[in-house]
Structure 1
Amino acid sequence: MTSSSSPSTGARLAAEFAGTFILVFGVIGTALFAAGFNGGDGNLNVGFLGVALALGLTVVVGAYALGPVSGGHFNPAVTLGLAVARRFGWGDVLGYLVAQFLGGIAASALLFVILSGGENPDLTAQFTGASTGYGVLSPGGFSLLSVILIEVITTAIFVYVILGVTSSRAAAGFAPLAIGFTLTLLALIAIPVSNASFNPARSLATAVFGGPEALGQVWVTLLAPVIGAIIAGATFSLLFERTVALSADAERVSANA
């Protein structure tokens, strides 16, 4: 016998904690353990492509498993963007943000413990390398302006996609796949520039273990994704839903002619 009742607030917050944990554990674990791995006689690391795929896969897994409970945000920027777009209630925003940040930090804390059993004793340096930022924290040495632009633009695209694939007109059941593929694509673009955040919870999760340099720059990838998400949330209806409404009006006029 199944129940049609909605998940409780506690269940939704637990799902956001768990989903963000999975996301950070998957993508940062890949970055720490597999992206630069060199074993045996050959270089066996997965590189940027592997990290980008890990990000997309973790979101697909989390969204299918936990999306029916909480909506599958797993990202403070997404929560804020959906609230601005009136797809999510402002009264639930704070609880979601807290759950997401705690889930990300919990994942990084466990990765830190696992990493301590390896051969490299400088754990802070490894988390610094996985942190987001500009200059020395940018894999390609990009500037602050470049990092702000890439994070704002890519997060806006990401939230546009989420709003589109979760609308009433979208094909049912495919949203997690579209969202995961989008993140993989955006990560391939952004990793060399900012180390690819799009997610303040992911940024803070690595920065808290990355030392003063990572903490000093974390504001950039806390703020820029939020700006991008707000832009998308505020403009999606104007740019896309109004066009659909005008098209529907035109079809009615043609039918009555």
Structure 2
Amino acid sequence: MKAYGAEFIGTFWLVLGGCGSAVLAGGGIGTLGVSLAFGLTVLTMACAVGHLSGGHFNPAVSLGMWAAGRLPVARLLPYIAAQVLGGMAAGAVLYLIASGSTGFDVAGGFAANGYGEHSPAGYSLVAALVTEVVMTAVFVLIILGATSAGADKRLAPVAIGLALTLVHLISIPVTNTSVNPARSTGVAVFAGEGALSQLWLFWLAPMVGAMFGAAIYRMLFQREGREQTQGA
């Protein structure tokens, strides 16, 4: 239960900190500030509670960990449930805060992900799909590599936080950056019908990307293990 609680609070902080920065301060801090906010949420919670659960805070990361043989299947669905509930709780808190401002309107987006008319720069469905698959695959690969047996795990929270920052810098104009179905769901339920109608993509693409990332990890690290064995 400690692991599930850690995933809940970690995802809560990711959505509240990242999406909250976009909704409440986006006009002042811009894309760079929002990107850093998402990276900092992961870095801080990975340090705070990562030792309890592994610090996934993302259904795509949990799926990638399972596919890479790093998470027991019995924990996969409970992790995802805790993450989605944490994201929705953060969305509710953010909505309560944001709606306290005169002139607040969820039609402004509420940090929801989207494509087409709901994309920040009007990118197509295909562009959004490719972006989310590739960004998630690389993000999951970085997480798996930074937490692998041969890596310096003390640096993992920094590497993962900076990776998420970079992912946002690249993809905010395209989809408002998901790479995390719990993050997408947490705000979509409050953002209106448009966000909910496109939510399927921000479950499908990150989950597919996670499987690609895990496959690349297995190819690289299993090959590395075989080469080390042959060298010995």
Q: Normalising TM by the smaller chain, what interval?
A: over 0.9
Distance, in Å, in 2 between the alignment partners of 1:202 and 1:32 is 14
Can you list the C-alpha shifts for 1:65-115, whole angstroms capped at 9, x where unaligned? 010111100000000010011000000111111100000000010110111
Alignment partner for residue 65 of structure 1, among 26, 38, 48? 48
2:226 is equivalent to residue 245 of structure 1: yes
State the distance in 2 between where 1:175 and 1:63 align.
9
Tell me how far 1:231 sits from its aligned partner.
1.2
Q: How does 1:1-257 map to 2 (within 5 A)?
A: 10-36=1-27, 45-122=28-105, 124-126=106-108, 128-249=109-230, 251-252=231-232
2:127 maps to amino acid: S
Maintained 8 Å contact 1:82/1:163: yes
Quote how far apart the aligned CAs of 1:244 are: 4.5
Asked whether the 8 Å contact 2:110–2:187 carries over to 1, the reply is: no
* 1:29 positional shift: 0.5
Q: Which has the larger radius of gyration?
A: 1
Q: Helix, strand or coil for the counterpart of 2:200?
A: helix
Q: Counterpart of 2:9 in structure 1: which amino acid?
A: A
| Aligned mates of 2:98, 2:57 — CA distance in 1 | 24
Q: CA deviation at 1:246?
A: 1.6
- How far 1:125 moved relative to its partner? 1.4
Q: Does the Cα contact within 8 Å between 2:113 and 2:195 map onto a contact in 1?
A: yes
Q: Which runs of 5+ in 2 are unaligned?
A: none
C-alpha deviation, 1:237, in angstroms: 1.4
Q: Deviations over 1:200-244 (max 9, x none)?
A: 000111110111101001111111000000111133111333035
Q: TM-score with structure 1 length normalisation? A: 0.88
Q: Specify every segment of 5 or more residues in structure 1 that has no aligned partner in the other structure, as ranges.
A: 1-9, 37-44, 253-257
Question: 1:248 deviation in Å?
Answer: 4.8
SS at structure 2 position matched to 1:97: helix
Root-mean-square deviation (CA, aligned residues, Å) is 1.1
The runs of 4+ residues in structure 1 deviating greater than 2 Å are none
Instruction: Using structure 2 for the length normalisation, give the TM-score.
Output: 0.97
Cα distance, 1:121 vs structure 2: 3.6
Q: Which amino acid aligns with 1:212?
A: E
User: Hey, what's the Cα distance between the residues in 1 that align with 2:199 and 2:146?
Assistant: 30
Percent pairwise identity: 49
Q: Is the CA contact (8 Å cut-off) linking 1:129 and 1:137 kept in structure 2? A: no
Q: Higher relative contact order at CA 8 Å, sep ≥6: structure 1 or structure 2? A: 2
